Amino acid sequence: MIYFRSSRITIVLLVTLLGLFSCVNRRSSKTMNDAEILSFHQSLLTLDTHVDTPLRLKHSDIDLGQRHDPREIRSKLDFPRMDAGGLDAAFFAVWTAQGSRTEAGHAAVKQQAMEIIDQIEVSLAAYPQWSGLALRSGDASDFDQQGKHAIFLGMENGYPIGTDLTNIDLFYKRGIRYMTLCHTANNEICDSYTDTSEYDGLSPFGFQVVERMNQLGMIIDISHLSDAAVADVLAICKTPVIASHSCAKALCDHPRNISDTLLTKIAAQGGVVQMCLYGEYVKTPEPNLPRDSARAALEEKWGDPYKLSADKYLDYRIEEKAVNQLFPELLPTVADAVDHIDHMVKIMGIDHVGIGTDFDGGAALADCFDVSELPNITRELIHRGYSRTDIAKIWSGNLLRVFQKVEQFAHR
Ligand SMILES: [Zn+2]
């Protein structure tokens, strides 16, 4: 310990030290050049909590080991582009559309979800040098140290649980580590944001589902839930929750986005909201009538392109490309998306915000069109003065803290 004879010397020294410290801090963020930013981004442990890549795996033209052009085919993630974009880990969404809530409907969707997981396992097994199925929070860094991408599973929509709690155990055993309780319509568990209120929140079964997820160590995802359902979850959940892909309603008034009141409550319980890159959640789209009518005509002519034969699909793609060239999509930018991070950090604090892109589920920004362009987010955060520590929290630290808390509760 050094003592100073006069308080004046102490003050002068303190001021000098503070000056030096802030200089180092500025040097560490705002003044970094592009090469330094990219190398900093590559050094981070990065985790995306929501990609719909399993939807693409069904199609034979997608191979996770090959680099695809996202403007040629609609794929936003493969291992070469994860490497290029410095994305270390991701939650693959096992998504199912809400269908009939009958015994037959529940049996069929359970089978469908199992088949999606089978398909993911096959796709990952083809590239053991590149990835593996991750099950524990610690796998994100463990896999990274082995030079592999940790692929976690999240289930988007609790529809495959049907009315049977033991299905949660079954899917946990298959690797599911978070479950978004519903999608765009109500199910047996809770009300969705886009459906009419059926339970005014969680159903009685939904309360049991939350309890079982807590016991098992499965993270509860509140993206897509009605505000009343989120409030119910927060009232009974024994662990922090996540919103795996949502933005702030104060900046973009979309029902999928989260109000400041709920953001505050989620943070108060230690949870995180993972900012999403889905255009309509980032910024209310400007009317683009020529494009909308050209796209509608295309849809009317071809129907669902994925149901077309290989030859017809190619013809469709030529026409679609022409429409996109004639009437380009007006996409929001990384700056628009980082505005949501700024806002959520202001409301929730730096420990409660992360990133869940929704790539392959419709997400795209003009300057972050696929995972290979993710360093642009880090660049924007640096230019806005976020410290290295803050950026590391946003890219995985906060989410992994929640994941660990959920695991610890189950194993207490
Ligand atoms: Zn979604």
User: Could you tell me the distance, in angstroms and rounded to a whole number, from the CA of residue 116 to the centre of ligand 1?
Assistant: 16
Question: In whole angstroms, what is the distance from residue 114 CA to residue 145 CA?
Answer: 30
Beta strands 89-95; 47-51: pairing state:
parallel
Instruction: Output the average pLDDT for the chain.
Output: 91
Which one is predicted more confidently, 178 or 30?
Answer: 178
Taking residues 20-37, what's their average pLDDT? Answer: 66
Beta strands 131-133; 219-221: pairing state:
unpaired
> Which pLDDT does position 309 carry in this prediction?
81
User: Could you tell me the distance, in angstroms and rounded to a whole number, from the CA of residue 194 to the centre of ligand 1?
Assistant: 12
DSSP three-state, residue 273: strand
User: Could you tell me the distance, in angstroms and rounded to a whole number, from the CA of residue 23 to the centre of ligand 1?
Assistant: 42
Per-domain residue ranges for the chain? 34-286+330-410, 287-329
User: Could you tell me the distance, in angstroms and rounded to a whole number, from the CA of residue 307 to the centre of ligand 1?
Assistant: 22
> Which pLDDT does position 130 carry in this prediction?
95
User: Could you tell me the distance, in angstroms and rounded to a whole number, from the CA of residue 382 to the centre of ligand 1?
Assistant: 28
> Which pLDDT does position 73 carry in this prediction?
81
> Which pLDDT does position 9 carry in this prediction?
41
User: Could you tell me the distance, in angstroms and rounded to a whole number, from the CA of residue 206 to the centre of ligand 1?
Assistant: 19
Confidence of residue 321 (pLDDT cuts 50, 70, 90): confident
Phi (first) and psi of residue 389, to 5 degrees? -65, -45
pLDDT at 315 over 90: no
Question: To the nearest 10°, the Cα dihedral for 52, 304, 111, 75?
Answer: -20
Query: pLDDT tens across 297-313, in order?
Result: 998 998 887 678 878 88
User: Could you tell me the distance, in angstroms and rounded to a whole number, from the CA of residue 157 to the centre of ligand 1?
Assistant: 9
User: Could you tell me the distance, in angstroms and rounded to a whole number, from the CA of residue 245 to the centre of ligand 1?
Assistant: 7
> Which pLDDT does position 268 carry in this prediction?
98
DSSP three-state, residue 25: helix
Q: Residue 154: enclosing H or E segment and its boundaries? A: strand 149-156
CA angle in degrees (0–180, nearest 5) for 114-137-258:
80
Q: Per DSSP, what are the bridge partners of residue 217?
A: none
What DSSP character marks residue 146?
Answer: T
Question: To the nearest 10°, the Cα dihedral for 285, 289, 294, 300?
Answer: 80
pLDDT at 30 over 80: no
User: Could you tell me the distance, in angstroms and rounded to a whole number, from the CA of residue 362 to the centre of ligand 1?
Assistant: 9
User: Could you tell me the distance, in angstroms and rounded to a whole number, from the CA of residue 358 to the centre of ligand 1?
Assistant: 7
Question: In whole angstroms, what is the distance from residue 130 CA to residue 333 CA?
Answer: 30
User: Could you tell me the distance, in angstroms and rounded to a whole number, from the CA of residue 163 to the centre of ligand 1?
Assistant: 22
Query: pLDDT tens across 143-179, in order?
Result: 999 999 999 999 999 999 999 999 999 999 999 999 9
**Contact (Cβ atoms closer than 8 angstroms) between residue 310 and residue 59:** no
User: Could you tell me the distance, in angstroms and rounded to a whole number, from the CA of residue 50 to the centre of ligand 1?
Assistant: 8
Query: pLDDT tens across 47-103, in order?
Result: 999 999 999 887 767 899 999 998 878 899 999 999 999 999 999 999 999 999 999
Q: How many CB atoms lie within 10 A of CB 24?
A: 9
User: Could you tell me the distance, in angstroms and rounded to a whole number, from the CA of residue 224 to the centre of ligand 1?
Assistant: 7
| CATH superfamily, region 34-286+330-410 | Metal-dependent hydrolases (3.20.20.140)
pLDDT at 290 over 90: no
User: Could you tell me the distance, in angstroms and rounded to a whole number, from the CA of residue 393 to the centre of ligand 1?
Assistant: 23
Question: In whole angstroms, what is the distance from residue 67 CA to residue 370 CA?
Answer: 12
Which pair of tokens denotes residue 384? 């806005």
> Which pLDDT does position 28 carry in this prediction?
54
DSSP three-state, residue 152: strand
Question: In whole angstroms, what is the distance from residue 275 CA to residue 338 CA?
Answer: 8
Sign of the four-CA dihedral 281, 283, 287, 293: negative
- Nearest residue to 373 (alpha-carbon basis) of 386, 363, 361: 363
- Nearest residue to 239 (alpha-carbon basis) of 259, 251, 222: 222
Question: In whole angstroms, what is the distance from residue 282 CA to residue 280 CA?
Answer: 6
**Contact (Cβ atoms closer than 8 angstroms) between residue 151 and residue 133:** yes
Query: pLDDT tens across 325-375, in order?
Result: 888 888 999 999 999 999 999 999 999 999 999 999 999 999 999 999 999
Q: How far is CA 305 from CA 126, 189, 301, 363, in A?
A: 27, 32, 10, 19
Which one is predicted more confidently, 226 or 21?
Answer: 226
User: Could you tell me the distance, in angstroms and rounded to a whole number, from the CA of residue 183 to the centre of ligand 1?
Assistant: 7
